[in-house]
Structure 1
Amino acid sequence: MKDTIYITGHKNPDTDSICAAIAYAEFKNKTGHLDAIPVRLGDVNRETQFILNYFGVEVPKLIETVKVQVSDLHIDNVAPVSPDISLKMAWNIMKKNNSKTLPVVDENDLLMGIATISNLFSSFMDVWDNNILAKSGTTLENIVDTLSAKHVYIHDENLKLRGKIVTAAMGPESTESILEPGDIVICGDREDTQKVVVEKCASLMIITGNHIASSEIIELAKKSGCSILSTPYDSFTTSRLITQSIPISFVMARDNILSFDTDDFVEEIRDIMLETRYRSYPVIDTYGKVLGTISRYHLISQNRKKVILVDHNEKTQSVHGLEDAEVLEIIDHHRIADIQTGNPIYFRNEPVGSTSTIVASIFFENGIRPSKKVAGLLCAAIISDTLLFKSPTSTNVDKLMLKRLSEIANIDVDSFAKEMFKAGTSLSNRTVDEIFHQDFKVFTLNNLKIGISQISTMDLEGFHDMKSDMLSLMDKKAVENGFNLIVFMLTDILKGGSELFVAGKEKELVARAFNVKLTGPSVYLPDILSRKKQVIPPITAAITSLK
């Protein structure tokens, strides 16, 4: 069985985050016996959607958490049973599968009850009612199966039992005195007793010891409507076994059944298990169908989800529940932050313009050629993160990788970049909230909570009427979410600069960081294009200088 590994970028994913995850998943699948799955932690932006459409690549699956869920556990794959199977069959299934619980389902495979060993045991010990077969709706088929019986004469295949169980161990006269029409009678090979049973219109006669009825008895049975079976068991064993033909539906638990969904989190069901203390619990899927059972043992042997992080190594930017997962690798080009791991891992961090540059390098270093589609995605991510090398984060390595990849993808870099930026930077028909959260990252710098959003555009005029609403949104977010400082970077791709909008109690940090005077809620900074290299470091230095 292949190990499933989730490869994910950061929250509010940008193009590099999405493309690097898809590309690295292809690399891992080509080089190992794995099922590497690229995933995303939020909606893709317009630029990324354009790129995925351009190269014909599906949007990665959205996940909200990597906390361990029931679906991650190796549950007992106990096949659910039909409600009309006999107790004997249920017991045999339990012994065969070493199971103490059987889920019972209806004709649509939906859970309708639970049969446990205690249910079966109670039926053996507590049932003294000789009308139990009639009350439980036992079928002739169940009786034949339970007693390993053979048909001698069957009056009605759909026989509805309505009488009591009688063991005719006495003489004919005594037997006659206790029989009533419709009874189920167990008897031996005495023909005089058999005759009485048939003439009293029993609904079913069971002959023990593998004996069969004479032709005379069979003829009488046809007239009276009495079915006849022959079992290899003796009278005592037959009497003991026949109640095991009761359908499981008669003894199963129906009310207040506690079951778990595959999407339930292990940390939540653990507490429920401790409170209820059942041996096992049915597991159902999103459609209500039973998949198997789970017990406390499965929680001990739980498997943590395996993840690889790309384009980030900061906990606040990563997937929810990361502390419950097993981080295998980190591929990034940002500052080293605060993610901790329990074991040594492969951590590759390089001062290049794009994580996709590193992923491309990994392909070529291992003598592996990325597919044409993935090469195209890597090209687009490098162009996006470096603003086609206008960003100060750009390096010669980025340029070298873009050249090699563009040849594989068969694209003209300049014309593709223009088309990509045009599709991705238009602000028309977009809300302030969408623009702000398109690429919003949270940082903790010397115990101060800092939020920085950035959007690159060729459409500055399209933002003019949004300024007031953007500042209101930032002020509200700073108060409600406890940010000391929030910065929104509106980066002009054509001019090569950014206007910084600020909010929060510590907005003077921006003035200190860039040695400018804030006369309003924003300031334009020429040649400032990179959040990572040109904004975070000076703000960090400004915070440190306050100490």
Structure 2
Amino acid sequence: MRPYKARKITPNPKDSFMSTKVFGHKAPDTDSTGSPIAWAWYLSEVKGIPAVPCLLGEPNTEAAFVITHWGLDKPEIISDVAEGDKVVIVDTNNPAELPAGINSADIIQIIDHHKLAGGLETKGPIDITMRPLACTATIMYDLMGDDIAKAPKGIKGAMLSCIISDTLEFRSPTTTDHDRAVCDALAKDLGVEISDLAAKMFEAKSDVSEFSDAELLRMDSKEYAVEGTKFRVSVLETTAPKMVLDRKDSLMASMGDVAREDGVDQVLLFVVDILNEEATFLIPNDLVKTVAEKSFGTTVSGDTVVLPGVMSRKKQIIPSLKL
């Protein structure tokens, strides 16, 4: 199966300039792709505020599948924002995951489900919604209230897909009862079997055959520092871990170049087996061996270590990292 390619559109530069830009983090996953689409629809069609969804990079294979599956247009990819651009930030509040010029833009709203990172500057008081839920789309569903009934099938489908992705079909420890309830409500409304859609999404996510090692290491990654040491923490969620692990030697050989190019000290790669609910942590050197043993209370004897039950970067990996 070839990776899904989302349908491209040619944005109207005038519309893009005049409209509020809605975007998530770099290396867009399904939530950082679907949530900007959903919220830009809500602002434009319900609140009367012209808005356009944007991406800060190519969507991953699962997100590209979701765009195609629900008949949505692929948002414009932008590399930066201009001074004074009106923007809404979703699915992150971390400046390291946002365009370089973000603090010169006019940030008018943040909707997020991650911890507060700090470092963003705004022109004045803004609307911020941050809730301890598994998915940004769940928060948006609540914020839309009764207006969700006005949403077209594609918007509801994108939101449903975001929740399935971020909860790993309710396997992730970040899943709350409310995420599940919203997911169930959207699925019922759309006449969709959650398990069927999840299987198609995870199949698309698992096909990484056409990506280079460097692209895989950056595909779903976030920067994080521990005691002054900067890491790129990469997670590959898959139902076919062998496809990734068969490439572990070349992936580990590429980590040094990726780290140097990205200005970090080390890349940490976790291959999350969705079905078996475990992560395989690649161990390329003594530094990462130390991280593995101190962070997860394990003993490393080779170039990989399996971490049973580890599924979530946000809740289980990032908070555990030690040197």
Q: TM-score, normalised by structure 2?
A: 0.88
**Alpha-carbon distance in 1 for matches of 2:133, 2:172:** 11
Aligned residues of 1:316 and 1:443 also touching (Cα < 8 A): no
- Alpha-carbon deviations, 1:55-75, whole Å to 9, x = none? 10011011111023xxxxxxx
Aligned residues of 1:372 and 1:408 also touching (Cα < 8 A): no
- After superposition, the Cα gap between the structure-2 partners of 1:375 and 1:505, relative to the gap in structure 1 and judged at 3 Å, is same
Deviates more, 1:497-506 or 1:386-395: 497-506
Which residue of structure 2 lines up, in the alignment, with residue 305 of structure 1? 85
Deviates more, 1:477-486 or 1:386-395: 477-486
- After superposition, the Cα gap between the structure-2 partners of 1:58 and 1:381, relative to the gap in structure 1 and judged at 3 Å, is same
1:515 and 2:297 correspond: yes
Q: Give 1:365 shift.
A: 6.0
- Alpha-carbon deviations, 1:325-349, whole Å to 9, x = none? 0111111111110232232211111
Given candidates 55, 65, 68, the residue that maps to 1:53 is 68
Given candidates 293, 305, 319, the residue that maps to 2:99 is 319
**Alpha-carbon distance in 2 for matches of 1:308, 1:446:** 31
- Alpha-carbon deviations, 1:232-251, whole Å to 9, x = none? xxxxxxxxxxxxxxxxxxxx
1:313 aligned partner, one-letter code = N
**Alpha-carbon distance in 2 for matches of 1:371, 1:504:** 50
Q: Give 1:39 shift.
A: 0.1
**Alpha-carbon distance in 2 for matches of 1:477, 1:367:** 42
1:418 and 2:203 correspond: no
**Alpha-carbon distance in 2 for matches of 1:381, 1:491:** 18
2:277 aligned partner, one-letter code = G
Please tell me the root mean square deviation across aligned C-alpha atoms, in Å. Answer: 2.1
Q: Give 1:366 shift.
A: 5.6
Given candidates 98, 118, 121, the residue that maps to 1:341 is 121
Which residue of structure 1 lines up, in the alignment, with residue 145 of structure 2? 364
- After superposition, the Cα gap between the structure-2 partners of 1:424 and 1:509, relative to the gap in structure 1 and judged at 3 Å, is closer
**Alpha-carbon distance in 2 for matches of 1:417, 1:11:** 23
Which residue of structure 2 lines up, in the alignment, with residue 534 of structure 1? 316
* Higher Cα radius of gyration: 1
- After superposition, the Cα gap between the structure-2 partners of 1:514 and 1:361, relative to the gap in structure 1 and judged at 3 Å, is same
**Alpha-carbon distance in 2 for matches of 1:505, 1:307:** 42
Which residue of structure 1 lines up, in the alignment, with residue 24 of structure 2? 9
Aligned residues of 1:313 and 1:336 also touching (Cα < 8 A): yes
**Alpha-carbon distance in 2 for matches of 1:359, 1:527:** 29
**Alpha-carbon distance in 1 for matches of 2:253, 2:192:** 42
**Alpha-carbon distance in 2 for matches of 1:311, 1:30:** 21
**Alpha-carbon distance in 2 for matches of 1:447, 1:504:** 18
**Alpha-carbon distance in 1 for matches of 2:41, 2:30:** 17
Which residue of structure 2 lines up, in the alignment, with residue 177 of structure 1? none
Given candidates 202, 216, 222, the residue that maps to 1:435 is 216
Q: Give 1:310 shift.
A: 0.6
Given candidates 42, 45, 62, the residue that maps to 1:27 is 42
Q: TM-score, normalised by structure 1?
A: 0.53
Which residue of structure 1 lines up, in the alignment, with residue 131 of structure 2? 350
Aligned residues of 1:426 and 1:458 also touching (Cα < 8 A): no
Q: Give 1:424 shift.
A: 2.1
- Alpha-carbon deviations, 1:495-524, whole Å to 9, x = none? 010011245774212321111123233311
Aligned residues of 2:214 and 2:258 also touching (Cα < 8 A): no
The SS at the match of 1:34 is coil
Q: How many residues align?
A: 306
The SS at the match of 2:246 is helix
Q: Give 1:413 shift.
A: 1.1
**Alpha-carbon distance in 2 for matches of 1:48, 1:387:** 14
The SS at the match of 2:267 is strand
**Alpha-carbon distance in 2 for matches of 1:465, 1:368:** 46
**Alpha-carbon distance in 2 for matches of 1:57, 1:406:** 18
Given candidates 178, 183, 187, the residue that maps to 1:397 is 178
Q: Give 1:319 shift.
A: 1.8
- After superposition, the Cα gap between the structure-2 partners of 1:64 and 1:429, relative to the gap in structure 1 and judged at 3 Å, is closer
**Alpha-carbon distance in 1 for matches of 2:150, 2:310:** 35
1:76-155 paired onto structure 2 within 5 Å: none
Which residue of structure 2 lines up, in the alignment, with residue 214 of structure 1? none
Q: Give 1:412 shift.
A: 1.4
- After superposition, the Cα gap between the structure-2 partners of 1:350 and 1:503, relative to the gap in structure 1 and judged at 3 Å, is farther
**Alpha-carbon distance in 2 for matches of 1:482, 1:63:** 21
- Alpha-carbon deviations, 1:360-405, whole Å to 9, x = none? 1111266754221111011111111110000000000111111111
The SS at the match of 2:183 is helix
**Alpha-carbon distance in 1 for matches of 2:130, 2:278:** 27
Query: Structure 1: which 5+ runs fail to align?
Result: 69-303
The SS at the match of 2:35 is helix
Q: Sequence identity, in percent? A: 29
The SS at the match of 1:417 is helix
Query: Structure 2: which 5+ runs fail to align?
Result: 1-13
Aligned residues of 1:363 and 1:370 also touching (Cα < 8 A): no
Which residue of structure 2 lines up, in the alignment, with residue 331 of structure 1? 111
1:333 aligned partner, one-letter code = H
Aligned residues of 1:5 and 1:305 also touching (Cα < 8 A): yes
The SS at the match of 2:19 is strand
**Alpha-carbon distance in 2 for matches of 1:401, 1:504:** 43
1:533 aligned partner, one-letter code = K
- After superposition, the Cα gap between the structure-2 partners of 1:37 and 1:386, relative to the gap in structure 1 and judged at 3 Å, is same
- Alpha-carbon deviations, 1:61-94, whole Å to 9, x = none? 11111023xxxxxxxxxxxxxxxxxxxxxxxxxx
